[in-house]
Chains A and B, each alone.
Chain A
Amino acid sequence: MRQLKRWGPGLLLVSPSIILVGVFVYGLIGRNIWTSLGRRTDYVTDRVLNPGGYLNYVQLLSDPRYHHALWNLLVLTVVFVAGTMFFGLLWALLLEKGVTAEGVFRSILLLPMAVSFIAAGVVWRWLLSPAQGADQAIGLNQLFLKLGMPGLQSAWWSDPGPFAMAAMAVPAIWQLSGYVMALFLAGFRGISDDQREAARVDGATEWRIYRHILFPQLSPVALSALIIVGHMSMKMFDLIYSIAGSNSYTAEVPATLMWIQLFPQSDPIAAATNATVLLTIVALVVIPYLVHTHRSERGDR
């Protein structure tokens, strides 16, 4: 009873949030899974549209259109994550020792982060216009022509090849590299100067200092950045919707396919199935990360 008196009020103060998160996150996820297992037949022809139960998942996972969307997601995620990590780390390395006007550089490199995906998508739709050649090119293709680099022209995401989604990662990299830079910069600055000094006194080269002293200490930061950027990529909807339009097959990923299933196709069961698989993919990455963070925090205490 005395125990309850000690921690009861705390639980009470959190209880509104527990109820809200419980209902809006876990309750609705449960409801969505329930929807995804439903069975539905065509009113007129009696043809089975959604076979029901786990067969809905079999139907989705064996659909070539879904394979195409998954492949696009894989290409997008690999290029997006690699690109943001590369530029984020590069910029952090350029800035971390301190340069004149560092604040200005940093603010500009982070600026795209303050703009919505929808707003950025409007200008990138124009920049990534597929038209090529002196009379027709607009956007980046036209800029490349003006700069005397016609070889850089590209059909971007409209390209029929299997790696077109790599172009969709370009605006995403533009938006989020600054974020990864900020994470790495904070990581570098959390390491005391004494460690570098000691290594320098011992005669270590700058490269060896980075390789053996600084980079190992940044691996938790790199992991955080990887998880955050990776899960954003799997959820990415706004940017693709804004650039490719609401109904693009070429640039389709599971998140945009879900919208198509729900509205143009009026098939909420298939949409719920797709969303549940997407959630599972994200959960497979995020849950181990949360458990790992939780454990290492306990270790600190």
Chain B
Amino acid sequence: MSTTELDRPDPDLTRRTTPPGRGRGQVSAGAVLRYALLVLSVVIVLVPIYVLVVTSIKDAATISTATAWDLPSKLSAAGWVSAFERLAPSMGRSLILAVVAAALSSMLGAMNGFVFSKWRFPGADIIFTMFLFGMFIPYQAVMIPLQAMLLNLPPGFDGIGKLIIVHTVYGIPICSLIFRNYYATAVPTEIIEAAKVDGAGMIRTFISVILPVSLPGFVVALIWQFTSAWNDFLFALFLTQPTNGPVTYALQELAGGQNPNYAQIFAGVLIASLPTLVVYLVLGRWFIRGLMSGSVK
């Protein structure tokens, strides 16, 4: 991770003007209070992360309840190694799932976003609102018939195959929203009109005018979809087995039951979270944009 990436001005969140009060050479009581509250908040937020990291590198033999909050007396990589061995196969499956589902729903989202923002048809607003509703539904309300529907797929679609279908489809609403909002502000309608005047059809316009400027939309949609497919557990539990499911399911199996090896369990939590954490730390700005687009407007 690079702190420079995080410190760089963020087009959405960072203030560009100098904050008032800065440079006067005096520290006000308000500023002290503000920093104190911020540092306290950060410390509290990091408590679970501290527990995870510290426990994961402890030697299993030295772990005891009494010293759970202490720094390790003896370092050991055993927890990480054994957790990785347990989780590696499911990590591979999650990677395939998250990449494929993210690519597919982003592509569909780009097509829909283009139409909803620039090539509208009668009733497009209603269809779009109906799509958005699909983003909010509790998936319990479709789960029972969904299980039945996906039961008779060809053998190759077991496990991850099912989840790819499911995440692609239920990702359509948020991806359409991301691209619609992106095209509405980033692509001037005049460009579309000019392409029409030149005799370009809709597909031509989409491929040669819209797609080349779509990269920012794709980054946001891909990150969002990658993260939600990687982190999903509900669909995994209902539609797959621990042996052919994603890493969240494998982690639940590793941590559940009576496993007393906390070094292994907590290392497993970190390993299973690493891909999304890396995405967040490296591409944080785009990640935040995806978060924002979830708020519909």
A interface residues (Cβ-Cβ under 8 A, vs B) = 7-11, 13-14, 16-18, 20-21, 24-26, 28-29, 31-32, 35, 87, 90-91, 94-99, 101-120, 122-127, 138-139, 142-143, 146, 174, 178-179, 182-183, 185-186, 189, 193, 220-221, 224-225, 228, 231, 234-235, 237-238, 241-242, 245, 255, 258-259, 262, 268, 271-272, 274-276, 278-279, 282-283, 286-287, 289-291, 293-294, 297-298
Contact B111 A123 (CB under 8 A): no
Q: Is the interface of B mostly helix, strand, loop or mixed?
A: helix
User: CA A53 – CA B20 in complex, angstroms?
Assistant: 65
Most chain B Cβ neighbours within 10 Å, of A119, A186, A294: A119
Q: Which residues of A contact B14 (CB under 8 A)?
A: 98, 102-103, 189
Q: Which of B1-44 contact A (CB under 8 A)?
A: 3, 6-8, 10, 12-15, 17-20, 22, 31, 34-35, 37-38, 41-42
Most chain A Cβ neighbours within 10 Å, of B51, B288, B297: B288
Contact B119 A9 (CB under 8 A): yes
Contact A116 B172 (CB under 8 A): no
Contact A9 B203 (CB under 8 A): yes
Contact B137 A29 (CB under 8 A): yes
B122 at the interface (CB under 8 A from A): yes
Contact B288 A182 (CB under 8 A): yes
Set A96, A111, A117: member contacting B233, Cβ < 8 A: A117
User: CA A135 – CA B182 in complex, angstroms?
Assistant: 57
Q: Which residues of B contact A25 (CB under 8 A)?
A: 133-134, 137, 142, 170
User: CA A18 – CA B230 in complex, angstroms?
Assistant: 25
Q: Is the interface of A mostly helix, strand, loop or mixed?
A: helix
Q: Which residues of A contact B34 (CB under 8 A)?
A: 94, 99
User: CA A158 – CA B166 in complex, angstroms?
Assistant: 35
B100 at the interface (CB under 8 A from A): no
Q: Which of B108-137 contact A (CB under 8 A)?
A: 108, 111-112, 114-116, 119-122, 124-125, 127, 129-134, 136-137
Most chain B Cβ neighbours within 10 Å, of A108, A123, A245: A123
Contact A120 B142 (CB under 8 A): no
Contact B142 A24 (CB under 8 A): yes
Contact B146 A28 (CB under 8 A): yes
